[in-house]
Every structure is written in structure tokens, then in C-alpha cells.
């Protein structure tokens, strides 16, 4: 293990402790619900970060997994009459299978080609959700699922549901960081930086990238399942290009290739969109300004940017001149 | 028979519209390797500036000029203040160009109230041109003409001028171009400004067909991406042929397979990219 | 912690009961869901104007209580709408909601409204089933359903205009499907025939490919568009040299966009529960007020929000401003009866849906301005047209593929 990961582990524990204490810190269900939305968005952003940050594969179709898992969860439990556990499992499994197919197609290209294939696949799914109204409800969407009661705990309670999603966030953070540190994860980052050398060394770069795609799709599906039970509703908006773009913005704004960047980015976007919009009519413009400011003042993202600022304050001021790092230089571990 | 002719004309007209939209995008992308995700917003803002110019008494032609100059200037400022610092950082470019697109879109709702607006066309181009039972809007014929003229002008610029030679060298191999003394610090702003101006003028020009409304930016941006990706990177010919092919796929596809209306542009793109990752006319992988 | 909370709220409830006499002093909090950003912002702004006008007309007071409006921007996205409903109800303490704009937004919060038992008045969302097959006991609508006006137009097209063959072209989303199916049903029942249906995506870049597909043997075209698509369609229709008469949905030539249209809109015949040109004292007064305040004619969204607010006033007066008994308040809201309003006479059916005078309107130019001149009125039209609730509710909800049982 790299020594740099120790403060990160401490930070992780602190963050988790803060999240656990959330319901005691805020008294209104409203803010607990906002926190739940941050957690769900963070899981989705973390999974996309696997591709973007660690794999160097910019995907603009990550809403596909969120949306498909959400549609399946709701359709299976309310229309096909399956139990909530069975619906969730089938939804996650099917969505992961879809990620296998999408990964296979997207990895035919790289760079921008990959971005465009994922965008196109996402648009196709959105079109299906919109047009195949007899199955998906069209623009009206699907509603009606009741949150499950595992072990007699009523997840309709906002606090209970918040902890329920938090379990998945902790699991995601733990398993994704394990994945990144594993041999597979290391070769993924190797393939990002030096694809030719990795091939020459005998790595099956394609397989490594494809497996990452599938793993990312799996966590996207988890986020989708939680999304379905949180909103108890899904509409084509969940599959829309803007949802994919928002997720990508969360990852990039927070800091690609870091474990907690996506969480910070998710909090930023969710809070601006849902909370700040109550006070500022032109919140969309503010969101744009914030993104531009991030690029100008910490182009590597918020989390690495803050880390650099802290380091710069500790050491001699000269090191703060080291601005405008290329994003790919940021190493997670 | 009638069907194939009229939908073919529709496709040609829509393809021409797409070329007007995508040419600037392709130019910027080919040389600077920037995926300018604000391009749709520039296009929309150009149209809004155009209707304001016309409301203030400018003619349609002046409005096109004003839209082009205004957005070209905006592009120059953005290149100078922001994009110049981000060379070679694709993710930072994605973040900043989308951020700018948000700002422009919301500013348009603020300034122009969000009411959908028709864009008036010159009186002499209104109405339909008739041959036998066929009727086709004169304005669309005009747009087809403009697109071909624009293609010719850009071809001339790229193939017959010194600036064009520099751009071509840059598109082929940026490092080599730098090595032989081409100053990208001069070339990039010029190209970004030109590309933005094309978007702004294109917005006014397309206005009488598309009208202007909040959301026009996000409706058009994927189309520009599709054209450039299908046609291949940095190829003017690619962008032109790509636009026309997409135009035909769009018009025939919508008519023949209405159930596929939402994916008619994206299915072919997935096919092309998975089978031929360089696009139809590109020489390098994208 | 939670138990303490429960205890606390019980005490609070007892306290509430004690002070309910003094309640009159408390302002009534009304949560208003509108759209200020994105593609639906124009409709949102008109809704805000309509609501403001009504609040001002009552000087911010209804049945002796101060009215406090708390506005939230849903961005036209279902997921945000749900969060905004929570914000208004849970954080800001809104006791009644007015909104949201789009049907898919209203459907996204349908379950939430039931769970929290929050009375809600829809100023715009027209989805049929909200007051039909899945009626929500806390939901009341201040506008017609998608098909309510278009049943009348279908009959009018067949009986009075004597059209036999019609092509439908409409936005491909639930609102477009529902209003087109309503039109088709009554048109075909009266001897007409819909010979072709074209569904253009809501974000269709242009309509040329659709206009050129229109069957040349048709007598007329029914154009069912919402938002700004009516502007785009009618403009291109004219430029393609099309001469067939156009029938429109209420929103195709709504006053909110009619002000931007040119001669291409002249002669379009549409149906609606409102027209700024309705010649009654109540409406003239309303139109004057809107023109004075906003320099525009009121349309779908303006009058919808205005009437939602008037419904609230009417119900509050019935319960004398006391909404502590929610069931009694809902009963009052569903008994709204206004002999005079910009709509004309309005009362609600047992599903919470207004019974409205439907006007057939024709776009004409008057004093250099386009308006929807009223050419016929069908009085007191129910959402079920002439079928009666039992027969009507037996068939499935109107959809893209709905073909009328003949």
C-alpha cells in the first residue's frame, strides 16, 4: 500500500462518521432525503469514475444503467408481480448483462469514438423508453412501487432509507477502492497511461477494460435500483443525455481518479439543483459558473485541488505554482 | 416516385442545415481537438441575437452578419480566457464547455423570456416552389444553395490559402506543424473564432426552419456530434458528405420507420463506429 | 430521538387544536410549483403571472386569512419535482400545493400527495387518468383534461364542417396521444374517418418530412401540438404550400404563442375551455387586467393558474379559512361552484374535474392582432363527453394506438 492512502482512509472514516451522524445533525426529513439523493448520485458517479478516472474512458451514456435498472425494478415489482428482492436482483443482473454488451460495442473504439458510442447507445435506450409506451408508460413514466421492508425495517421512513443507501455507498467505496488497488485495477490504470506498453508486456488490455466496464455497469445498476425505490417513480428523464452529462460533470468537477472526488461532485450538483435553486432563480447559470470556476482554479477537480492547496500551504509557497495539472497525472493511491 | 423525390429533397435540405451547424464544430474539433460542447448554445445564441437585430430594424442578411460577428467575438474571448489554458486536457474541456453551455442557455431564458420565437425570413424567399404536383419551400432550396456555397468557400480557404495550409498541417500532425514554425497561439484563436462565427450565423440562417426556443441547443448538439463522428475527424469532405447522409437517413427513416424515429440517427452511428472506428472519411481513429 | 419527536408533535397537535381559533392570524402557506429554467420556462412564467394576478386581486387575503405563496422551480424534471414537493411541504410547511406544469411532473408526485395527504390544485397538467381511472382524493384540476375540449372539436369537424377524411399529426407524448384520441373518437362516431396518424417526436428538428407525408386525399389536417411546436409546424405548413384547412388542439394556437405567429395561423379552427376573446363581463375584466399588467393576452397557462387560485379562494370561503379539517377542505374544494369566471360557469364533477363550457375558436385578425374568435360554444361539457362515467371508464385510457370501438 502506498503511504498516501493512510490519510485517505482516515478521511474516509471521518466522512462515513459524518454521514452516519447526518440524521442527528439535521432534523428535517427534507434534508435527509437530499442526503439520500447525494448518496445515490455518488454511487453512480463513483462507478462512472472507474471508467473515466481510472480507465481513461470518457462515457456519455452512464445514465443507461441507472435508467434501465430503475425501469426494471419498478416494472418487475409493480407490473410483473415479483417480490422486491427478486425484482432488484433481476434488474441488477440484467443491467449488468447490458453493460457487457455496451462494453463490447464501446470498446470497439477508444477516446472520442467510445464517448460517441456510449452517447448513441444511451440515446437509443432513451428513445425506447419514450416510444415503447405500452411497456414503459412513455413520458408519463412508471410509478407505484412501495419500498421493501427487509427484516421488518420500514424503508418508507426517510432515515431508515438513508442508512439503507449508505450501506451501498460504503460497500461501493470499499469494493471499488479494492478493485482499483488490485492487479486488475492497476493494469486498468496502466492501460490508461501506456496502452501500447501494457500490450507489449502481454496484458490483455481489452479484457481489463471490458471487465471494468461491466463492474462499473453493476454499480450503476445498484444506483438505479436505489433510485427507483427512492423516487418510487421512473421516467425517460432518468435515461436522458442530460443525466449522463450531469454524472460526468460530478466526476470531473470532484476530481477524476480519486475515490471521494465523485462524492463531492455529486453533493455539489445535487445541492445546487435541489436546495440552492430554492433561493436563486438562475441556479442553472450558477452551476455553469461553478463548473467554469473549478476548471480555472482547480482544473484537476475539487478534491485534488483542495489537497494541492493544503500541501502548498504546508510547504513553501513555490509549489502552488504547479497549477493546471493534466488530469491524467493524478494518481489515486 | 413522388415520395422518393420529395423526401430526398427534404433530406438534402436537412443535411444542408446540418452542414451549416456542423462545419464550425468540425473545424474546431479537427484542428484543436476540442469537443466544443457549447457549440449548440452558440448556435442558439446566434439565432436569438439575430431576432433581436431584426426587431431593431436590421434586415435578415444584416442579422446573419451580426449573429456571426457577435458569436465569433464571444468565441474569441472564451478561447483567450479559458480554453487556451486547457490544451490537451479533454476532461477539463468537457467540464468547461458544458458549463458555458449551461450559462448561455440560462442567460437566453433570462434575456429572451423562454417564449418560443419564430425567425422571420426575407419575403422573397417565403412560400413554395412548384413543379407539377410537387411543392417545396423556396427557403429550403436557398439553404441547400448556401450549404454548397459554404462548402466551396471552406474548401477554398483550406486548400488555396496560406491559413488553410497551416490548418491542414495542424490537423494532420500538430507537433510537426509546430516544429516547422506554425504558431498555434495565432492559429487556434482564429479557427475558434471562425468556428464560433459559423455557429452564430448558422443559427440565424436555420432560424426560419427551426425557430428559436430554450432547448434548441441540446436538440442540435448531438446532431453536430453525429455528423462529425460519422464523417470522420478533421475532414471537410467528411463533414459535408456526413451531413448529407444523415439528412437522407433522417428524412427517409422518419417516413419509412416511424417507430424508430428517436433512434434513426443513433443506430447507424453505433454501426459505423463499431465497424469502422475512424468514421466514414477519417484517416485516424477518433 | 424519534420518540421524542413523536411526543413533541403530539403536544404540537394538541396545541394546534387549542389555538385553531387564533388560526385566522396565521398566514396560509401555499406551495406553488412552476418552471423557471429549461424548455418549459415560458409556460412557467405565464403560470406565475396568472397566479400573481389572482393573489393581487384578493389583496393577498382569502376568507380573512393572509395568503403566503412559496414558489419552487421544478426545472420540468420529474425527479426534481418530487424533491420540490418535499421542500414545500416538509421544509416550508406548505399546507396546499398549486402546480406542477407538466403531466409527467404531476404523475411523479402522485404517490407523495397521497402519502402526505396534501391538497393539490393542478393549474395545467392535463393527464386524463389523474381524474379518471386513478383518481387521487387530494387532487383537483383547474383546467380541462387532454381530450375534454377535443371531443367537442371531433363532433364539430364531422357535423358542422362536414369533413370526412382527416389526417392527425401530433406531438408524440401522452398529452398529444390523449387529445388526438379524444378527437378521433367523436369524429369517427359522427361519420368521419381518420385516415392517417403521424407522431412527430417532441424534439423533432423540423416538420418537413412529416408535412410531405400527409395523405393528399384528406379534407383537413388535425394538428395536436404543445409548447412552441405549433409555431414551427404552422410556419412550415405554409411554406410547403399546403392548402388543406388546419384544425388545432387548444395548445397549437394558444394565446401564449399566438402573439408570436403570423398569417400562417389565420383560419385555424381549434377547441378549448378558454379563449381570450370570450365575450363575457368576467372574462373581459380578466383580460384587461392581464393586458395591463403583462401586455399580453392570457392563454392556457395564465388562466389555468389564475383559476387554480380562484378555486382555492372559493373553497377557503366555504370553510371560512379554516383548513385544519383536511377532509372538510377537500370536500369544499370539490364543491367549487363559480357561476361566473373567465371560463364561464364552472363546477366540478365527483372526480375533481371541472365541467366546462367548451368553445370552438377560429384564429382571426382583429385590430392587427391575432385572436381566437369564438364561433360556437358547447355548454357544460364533462370530461366524459356524452358517454357517462361508467361507459367511458370501461375502455382503457387514450393512447397512441387507441382505436375507438365502433
Hey, what domains does chain C have and what are their CATH numbers? 28-146+280-356 (3.40.50.2300), 147-278+357-394 (3.40.50.2300)
Residue C61: φ, ψ to 5°: -140, 135
Residue-level pLDDT at C13? 46
Angstroms from B263 CA to nearest CA on chain A: 5
Distance CA C70, CA A202 (A): 63
Longest dimension (CA), chain A: 65
Q: What is the CA radius of gyration of chain A?
A: 20
The pLDDT score that the predictor gives to residue A192 is 86
pLDDT at res. A5:
54
Choose the mutation target among B85, B92, B93 for the interface with A, i.e. most A CBs under 10 Å: B92
Interface contact flag, C75 A232, Cβ < 8 Å: no
Backbone Cα Rg of chain C? 22
> Do A256 and B91 touch, CB atoms closer than 8 A?
yes
pLDDT value at C24 more than 90: no
What does the pLDDT average to over C323-352?
92
Task: Report pLDDT for A316.
Answer: 53
What are the tens digits of pLDDT across the range A43-74? Answer: 999 999 999 999 889 999 999 999 999 999 99
> Is any Cβ of chain C less than 8 angstroms from the Cβ of A132?
no
- B126, part of any domain: no
Task: Say if strands C220-224 and C354-366 run parallel, antiparallel, or are unpaired.
Answer: unpaired
Q: At what angle do helices A261-274 and C78-86 cross, to 10 degrees?
A: 70
Tens digit of each residue's pLDDT (9 = 90 or more) over C306-320: 999 999 999 999 999
Q: Is C294 on the interface with A (CB under 8 A)?
A: no
Q: How far out from the chain centre does Cα B131 lie?
A: 31
Domain membership flag for residue B285: no
What's the pLDDT score for residue A113?
Answer: 82
**Checking DSSP bridges between strand C28-34 and strand C139-141, what pairing results, if any?**
unpaired
Instruction: Identify the pLDDT of residue B285.
Output: 52
Q: Which of C134, C143, C189, C124 shows the shortest CA–CA distance to C387?
A: C189
What per-residue confidence (pLDDT) applies to A319?
40
- Selected residue with higher pLDDT from C18 and C216: C216
Residue C4 has pLDDT above 70, yes or no: no
Write out chain B in H/E/C secondary structure: CHHHHHHHHHHHHHHHHHHHHHHHHHHHHHHHCCCCCCHHHHHHHHHHHHHHHHHCCCCHHHHHHHHHHHHHHHHHHHHHHCHHHHCCCHHHHHHHHHHHHHHHHHHHHHHHCCCCECCCCCHHHCCEEEECCEEEEHHHHHHHHHHHHHHHHHHHHHHHCHHHHHHHHHHHCHHHHHHCCCCHHHHHHHHHHHHHHHHHHHHHHHHHHHCECCCHHHHHHHHHHHHHHHHCCCCHHHHHHHHHHHHHHHHHHHHHCHHHCCCCCHHHHHHHHHHCCCCCCCCCCC
pLDDT of residue C371: 95
3-state secondary structure of C192: coil
Tell me, yes or no, whether B92 lies in a domain.
yes
Mean pLDDT of A267-296: 90
Distances (CA, A) of B169 to A109, B22, B34, B86, B173: 25, 21, 17, 21, 6
Closest C-alpha to C343, from C291, C380, C297: C380
Does the structure show a pLDDT above 60 at C47?
A: yes
CA distance C65 to C83: 28
Query: Would you state the pLDDT for residue C359?
Result: 95
H-only helix segments in chain A: 5-25, 29-49, 63-74, 84-106, 111-131, 133-136, 158-181, 183-193, 195-200, 205-231, 241-254, 261-274, 283-297, 302-314
Whether B85 sits inside 8 A of A245 (CB atoms) is no
Q: Contact at 8 Å (CB) between B195 and B25?
A: yes
pLDDT at C25: 61
Q: What residues of chain C lie within 8 A of the CB of B13, using their CB? A: 208
Q: Are the beta carbons of C300 and C250 closer than 8 angstroms?
A: yes
HSE-CB of C23 using CA atoms within 13 angstroms: 17
Burial string for B129-151 (b: 16+ CB within 10 Å, else e) reads eeeeeebbbbbbbbbbebbeebb
What is the helix (H) or strand (E) element at residue C110, kind and residue range? helix C110-116
Distance from CA of B62 to the nearest CA of A (A): 30
Collect all residues with Cβ–Cβ distance below 8 Å to A4 and sequence separation of at least 6.
Answer: A333
Asked which of A213-217, B278-282, C179-183, C192-196 is least confident by mean pLDDT, the reply is B278-282
Q: Does the pLDDT of residue C82 top 60, yes or no?
A: yes
Taken as a whole, chain C contains a residue count of: 406
**pLDDT attached to residue B227:** 87
Looking at every residue in chain C, the average pLDDT score rounds to 89
* pLDDT given at position B69: 96
Give the residue among A21, A10, A43, A27 at the shortest CA–CA distance from A270. Answer: A43
Give mean pLDDT, residues C336-359.
93
CB A204 within 8 A of CB A122: no
Residue B159, domain member (yes or no): no
Contacts of C331 (CB under 8 A, 6+ apart): none
Element (H, E) at C98: strand C96-98
Are A120 and B99 an interchain contact pair (Cβ–Cβ within 8 Å)?
Answer: no
- Tell me the C-alpha distance between B261 and B255, whole Å: 9
Model pLDDT, residue C3: 43
Nearest residue to A267 via CA among A15, A1, A2: A15
Share of chain C above pLDDT 70, in %: 93
In this structure, the dihedral spanned by the alpha carbons of residues B138, B139, B145 and B148, taken in order and rounded to 10 degrees, is -140
Is residue A224 pLDDT above 50, yes or no? yes
Mean pLDDT of A142-163: 84
Q: Number of Cβ pairs closer than 8 Å across A and B?
A: 138
CA–CA gap between residue B114 and residue A320 (Å, rounded) = 44
Q: Are strands C246-248 and C269-272 parallel, antiparallel or unpaired?
A: parallel
Residue C164 has pLDDT above 80, yes or no: yes
Peptide bond into A92 cis (omega under 30): no
Looking at the domain assignment, is residue B99 inside a domain? Answer: yes
Eight-class DSSP state of C295: S
Residue C366, beta-bridge partner list = C369
All partners of chain A with 3 or more CB pairs under 8 angstroms = B, C
Of B41, B40, B62, which is closest to residue B50 (Cα–Cα)?
B62
Asked, for residue B257, whether it belongs to a domain, the answer is yes
Report pLDDT for B195. Answer: 94
Q: Which domain holds residue B228?
A: 8-116+164-275
Domain count, chain B: 1
Rounded CA-CA distance C199/C210 in Å is 9
The Cα–Cα gap between B285 and B278 comes to 4
Q: How confident is the model at residue C222 (pLDDT cuts 50, 70, 90)?
A: very high
Q: How many CB atoms lie within 10 A of CB C47?
A: 30
Question: Which residues of chain A neighbour C87 with C-beta distances below 8 Å?
Answer: 30, 274-275, 278
Low-confidence ranges of chain B (pLDDT < 50): 286
Q: CB-based burial of residue A200 (10 Å sphere; 0-12 exposed, 13-18 middle, 19+ buried)?
A: exposed
Average pLDDT over residues A94-98: 96
Q: For residue A23, give the nearest of A14, A32, A33 by alpha carbon.
A: A32
CA neighbours closer than 13 Å in the CB half-sphere of residue C130: 37
CA C354 to CA B233: how far, in whole Å?
Answer: 58
pLDDT at position C22 over 50: no
Give the residue numbers in B contacting A (CB under 8 Å), as ranges.
35, 82, 85-86, 88-92, 94-96, 98-103, 105-107, 110, 218, 222, 225-226, 229, 233, 259-263, 266-267, 269-270, 273-275, 277, 285-286
pTM: 0.90
DSSP C247: E
Confidence (pLDDT) at C18 = 46
Domain annotation covers residue B268: yes
Give the model's pLDDT for residue B130. Answer: 86
**Does B267 fall in a domain?**
yes
Query: Over 60: is that where the pLDDT of C50 sits?
Result: yes
Amino acid at each position: 500500500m502506498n503511504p498516501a492512502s493512510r490519510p485517505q482512509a482516515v478521511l474516509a472514516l471521518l466522512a462515513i462518521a459524518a454521514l452516519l451522524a447526518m440524521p442527528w445533525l439535521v432534523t428535517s426529513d427534507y434534508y435527509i432525503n437530499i442526503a439520500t439523493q447525494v448518496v445515490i448520485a455518488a454511487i453512480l458517479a463513483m462507478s462512472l469514475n472507474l471508467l473515466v478516472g481510472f480507465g481513461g474512458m470518457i462515457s456519455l451514456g452512464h445514465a443507461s444503467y441507472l435508467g434501465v435498472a430503475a425501469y426494471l425494478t419498478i416494472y418487475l415489482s409493480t407490473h410483473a408481480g415479483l417480490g422486491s428482492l427478486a425484482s432488484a436482483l433481476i434488474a441488477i443482473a440484467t443491467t449488468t448483462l447490458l453493460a457487457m454488451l455496451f462494453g463490447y460495442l464501446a470498446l470497439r473504439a477508444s477516446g472520442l469514438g467510445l464517448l460517441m458510442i456510449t452517447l448513441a447507445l444511451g440515446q437509443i435506450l432513451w428513445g425506447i423508453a419514450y416510444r415503447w409506451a405500452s411497456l414503459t408508460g412513455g413520458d408519463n413514466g412508471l410509478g407505484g412501487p412501495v419500498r421493501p421492508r427487509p427484516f421488518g425495517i420500514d424503508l418508507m421512513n426517510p432515515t431508515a432509507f438513508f442508512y439503507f443507501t449508505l450501506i451501498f455507498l460504503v460497500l461501493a467505496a470499499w469494493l471499488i477502492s479494492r478493485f482499483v488497488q488490485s492487479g486488475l485495477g492497476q493494469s486498468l490504470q496502466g492501460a490508461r497511461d501506456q496502452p501500447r506498453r501494457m500490450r507489449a508486456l502481454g496484458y490483455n488490455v481489452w479484457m481489463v477494460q471490458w471487465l471494468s466496464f461491466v463492474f462499473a455497469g453493476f454499480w450503476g445498476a445498484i444506483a438505479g435500483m436505489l433510485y427507483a425505490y427512492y423516487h418510487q417513480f421512473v421516467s425517460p428523464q432518468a435515461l436522458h443525455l442530460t443525466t449522463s452529462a450531469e454524472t460526468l460533470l460530478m466526476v470531473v468537477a470532484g476530481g477524476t481518479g480519486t475515490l471521494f472526488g465523485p462524492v463531492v461532485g455529486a453533493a455539489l450538483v445535487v445541492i445546487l439543483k435541489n436546495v440552492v435553486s430554492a433561493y436563486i432563480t438562475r441556479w442553472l447559470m450558477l452551476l455553469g459558473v461553478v463548473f467554469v470556476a473549478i476548471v480555472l482554479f482547480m482544473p484537476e477537480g475539487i478534491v485534488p485541488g483542495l489537497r494541492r492547496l493544503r500541501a502548498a500551504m504546508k510547504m513553501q509557497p513555490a509549489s502552488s505554482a504547479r497549477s493546471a495539472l493534466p488530469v491524467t497525472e493524478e494518481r489515486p493511491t | 416516385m413522388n415520395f422518393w423525390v420529395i423526401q430526398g429533397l427534404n433530406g438534402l435540405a436537412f443535411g444542408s442545415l446540418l452542414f451549416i451547424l456542423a462545419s464550425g464544430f468540425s473545424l474546431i474539433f479537427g484542428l484543436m481537438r476540442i469537443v466544443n460542447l457549447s457549440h449548440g448554445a452558440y448556435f442558439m445564441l446566434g439565432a436569438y441575437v439575430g431576432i433581436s437585430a431584426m426587431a431593431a430594424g436590421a434586415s435578415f442578411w444584416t442579422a446573419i452578419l451580426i449573429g456571426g460577428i457577435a458569436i465569433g467575438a464571444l468565441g474569441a474571448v472564451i478561447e483567450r480566457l479559458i480554453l487556451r489554458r486547457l490544451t490537451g486536457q479533454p476532461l477539463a474541456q468537457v467540464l468547461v464547455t458544458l458549463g458555458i453551455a449551461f450559462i448561455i442557455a440560462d442567460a437566453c431564458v433570462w434575456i429572451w423570456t423562454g417564449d418560443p420565437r419564430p425567425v422571420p425570413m426575407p419575403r422573397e424567399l417565403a412560400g413554395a416552389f412548384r413543379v407539377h404536383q410537387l411543392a417545396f419551400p423556396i427557403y429550403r432550396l436557398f439553404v441547400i444553395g448556401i450549404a454548397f456555397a459554404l462548402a466551396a468557400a471552406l474548401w477554398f480557404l483550406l486548400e488555396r490559402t496560406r491559413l488553410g495550409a497551416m490548418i491542414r498541417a495542424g490537423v494532420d500532425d500538430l507537433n510537426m506543424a509546430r516544429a516547422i514554425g506554425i504558431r498555434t497561439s495565432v492559429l487556434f484563436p482564429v479557427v475558434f473564432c471562425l468556428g464560433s462565427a459559423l455557429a452564430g450565423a448558422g443559427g440565424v440562417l436555420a432560424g426560419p426552419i427551426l425557430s428559436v426556443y430554450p432547448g434548441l441547443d441540446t436538440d442540435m448538439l448531438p446532431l453536430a456530434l453525429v455528423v462529425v463522428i460519422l464523417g470522420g475527424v478533421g475532414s471537410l469532405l467528411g463533414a459535408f458528405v456526413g451531413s448529407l447522409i444523415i439528412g437522407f437517413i433522417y428524412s427517409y427513416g422518419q417516413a419509412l420507420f416511424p417507430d424508430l424515429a428517436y433512434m434513426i440517427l443513433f443506430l447507424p452511428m453505433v454501426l459505423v463506429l463499431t465497424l469502422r472506428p475512424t468514421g466514414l472519411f477519417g484517416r485516424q481513429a477518433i | 430521538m424519534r420518540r421524542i419527536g413523536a411526543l413533541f408533535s403530539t403536544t404540537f397537535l394538541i396545541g394546534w387544536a387549542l389555538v385553531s381559533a387564533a388560526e385566522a392570524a396565521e398566514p396560509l402557506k401555499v406551495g406553488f410549483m412552476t418552471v423557471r429554467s429549461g424548455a418549459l420556462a415560458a409556460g412557467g412564467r405565464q403560470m406565475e403571472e396568472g397566479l400573481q394576478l389572482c393573489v393581487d386581486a384578493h389583496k393577498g387575503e382569502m376568507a380573512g386569512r393572509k395568503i403566503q405563496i412559496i414558489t419552487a422551480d421544478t426545472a420540468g424534471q420529474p425527479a426534481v419535482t418530487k424533491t420540490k414537493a418535499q421542500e414545500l411541504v416538509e421544509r416550508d410547511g406548505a399546507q396546499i400545493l398549486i402546480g406542477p406544469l407538466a403531466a409527467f411532473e404531476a404523475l411523479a408526485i402522485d404517490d407523495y400527495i397521497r402519502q402526505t395527504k396534501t391538497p393539490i390544485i393542478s393549474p395545467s397538467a392535463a393527464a386524463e387518468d389523474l381524474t379518471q381511472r386513478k383518481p387521487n382524493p387530494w387532487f383537483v384540476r383547474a383546467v380541462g383534461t387532454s381530450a375534454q375540449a377535443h371531443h367537442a372539436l371531433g363532433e364539430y369537424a364531422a357535423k358542422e364542417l362536414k369533413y370526412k377524411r382527416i389526417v392527425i399529426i401530433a406531438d408524440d407524448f401522452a398529452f398529444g396521444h390523449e387529445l388526438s384520441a379524444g378527437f378521433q373518437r367523436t369524429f369517427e362516431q359522427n361519420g368521419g374517418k381518420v385516415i392517417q396518424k403521424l407522431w412527430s417526436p417532441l424534439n423533432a428538428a423540423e416538420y418537413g418530412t412529416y408535412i410531405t407525408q400527409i395523405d393528399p386525399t384528406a379534407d383537413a389536417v388535425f394538428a395536436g401540438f404543445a409548447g412552441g411546436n405549433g409555431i414551427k409546424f404552422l410556419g412550415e405548413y405554409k411554406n410547403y404550400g399546403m392548402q388543406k384547412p388546419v384544425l388545432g388542439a387548444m395548445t397549437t394556437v394558444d394565446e401564449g404563442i399566438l402573439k408570436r405567429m403570423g398569417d400562417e395561423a389565420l383560419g385555424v379552427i381549434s377547441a378549448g375551455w378558454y379563449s381570450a376573446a370570450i365575450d363575457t363581463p368576467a372574462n373581459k375584466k380578466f383580460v384587461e387586467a392581464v393586458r395591463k399588467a403583462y401586455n399580453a393576452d392570457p392563454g392556457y397557462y395564465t388562466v389555468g393558474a389564475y383559476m387554480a387560485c380562484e378555486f382555492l379562494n372559493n373553497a377557503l370561503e366555504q370553510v371560512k379559512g379554516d383548513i385544519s379539517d383536511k377532509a372538510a377542505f377537500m370536500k369544499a374544494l370539490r364543491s367549487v361552484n363559480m357561476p361566473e369566471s373567465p371560463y364561464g360557469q364552472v363546477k366540478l364533477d365527483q372526480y375533481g374535474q371541472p365541467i366546462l363550457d367548451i368553445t370552438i375558436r377560429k384564429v382571426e385578425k382583429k385590430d392587427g392582432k391575432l385572436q381566437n374568435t369564438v364561433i360556437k360554444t358547447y355548454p357544460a361539457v364533462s370530461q366524459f363527453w356524452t358517454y357517462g362515467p361508467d361507459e367511458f371508464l370501461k375502455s382503457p385510457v387514450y393512447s397512441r394506438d387507441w382505436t375507438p370501438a365502433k
